[in-house]
Amino acid sequence: MAKVIFYKRYLYIVDRLKSVPSNFQDLHKLVMTKLENEDLSANFEFSARTFDRDKKDILDLFGILIQYNRKDKVYYIDEDVEDPSVSRMMEAFSIHQALKEGNKIAPSIYLENRKSSGTHLINGILHAIQNNLQITFTHTKFWEMEISKRTVKPIAIKESQHRWYLIAEDNRDDRVKNFGFDRISDLKILDDKFKPIVFNVEKDYQHAFGIETYEPAQKVILEFSWQQGNYIKSFPLHASQKIISDTDDALKIELYIHPTTDIVMELMKYGSEVKVFEPKSLQKKIKDRIVEMTQLYQ
């Protein structure tokens, strides 16, 4: 139970300071109230000394530095330096807490009924990656409905568009490929070890929109209606997104990405709310898709 109190306390502190810089008194009130609500506060006192230890533990465990603003006399967390994995963990914790509170009497939060994206494979694949163990599995290629048996050397796990992918070197041709978790079945970890593979996942996928990189990365210029532009500003399409112009009529942005099918499908969903200016090759792909769609209804 003591360990549960530790971790919950850490998460309550981080969750609070990410959104609202606070002094110790406010943190104390928040933490004790949260623990009392979960019947975890008995025989426990959150003191200033405890908080000092918590700050060190939070830095060691999560890599999150809690800083102090002497002018305003509050503690805060600089979100710009936060690790994405920690951010995701905190997001999951916040949702978990909200669900617990919101469903005590009657449901107040309704989640999408999604099919599993294969996240049950993460632990096994991660073990294989960390121990340089080859894995074998059955892979279904949806586009061609081709089913094959693969043996690979796992390199990393990558998330894209709410889906999970295994990045691995395929023993068939020694090429690095991606395999969607939702297309993997009969996963087995082998005893066969391999030498670590030098492959910079972050560098190789930094310009990817989605998971594919078969087209050379290049500048893409898009113009959105002002209505849709507000959504694009609040939730950028890609990390490379830059605003070229923002007027009362339209938002024009620049991306630097691989113009693959993934971005074509993304842009198609915006319909007449977006126009492709560059490159011309991407503009043509969109035009061709529109023609094909029109022919379906003739």
Tokens representing residue 53 in the block: 């230890």
Tokens representing residue 5 in the block: 């109190």
Residues facing 278 on adjacent strands: 221
Chain centre to alpha carbon of residue 267: 20
Domains present along the chain, CATH in parentheses: 2-102 (1.10.10), 119-204 (2.30.30), 218-296 (3.30.70)
- Cα–Cα distance measured from residue 10 to residue 16, given in angstroms and rounded to the nearest whole number: 10
Tens digits of residue pLDDT in 205-238: 999 998 899 999 999 999 999 999 999 999 999 9
Confidence at 30, pLDDT banded by 50, 70, 90: confident
* Among the ranges given (31-45, 103-117, 236-250), the one the predictor scored with the smallest mean pLDDT: 103-117
Q: Where are the beta strands (DSSP E) in the chain?
A: 66-69, 74-77, 133-141, 146-160, 163-170, 175-180, 184-193, 218-225, 242-246, 250-257, 274-278
Percent of the chain with pLDDT over 70: 82
Residues facing 170 on adjacent strands: 152, 175
Tens digits of residue pLDDT in 65-101: 888 999 889 998 876 655 666 666 666 666 666 666 6
**Is the predicted pLDDT of residue 174 greater than 60, yes or no?**
yes
- Cα–Cα distance measured from residue 289 to residue 286, given in angstroms and rounded to the nearest whole number: 5
Output the average pLDDT for the chain.
Answer: 85
- Cα–Cα distance measured from residue 166 to residue 139, given in angstroms and rounded to the nearest whole number: 11
CB-side neighbour CA atoms (13 Å) of 282:
28
**Is the predicted pLDDT of residue 193 greater than 60, yes or no?**
yes
Mean pLDDT computed over 252-279: 95
Residues facing 157 on adjacent strands: 166
Q: What is the reported pLDDT for 223?
A: 96
Phi, psi of 188, deg, nearest 5: -135, 135
Element (H or E) spanning 191, and its range? strand 184-193
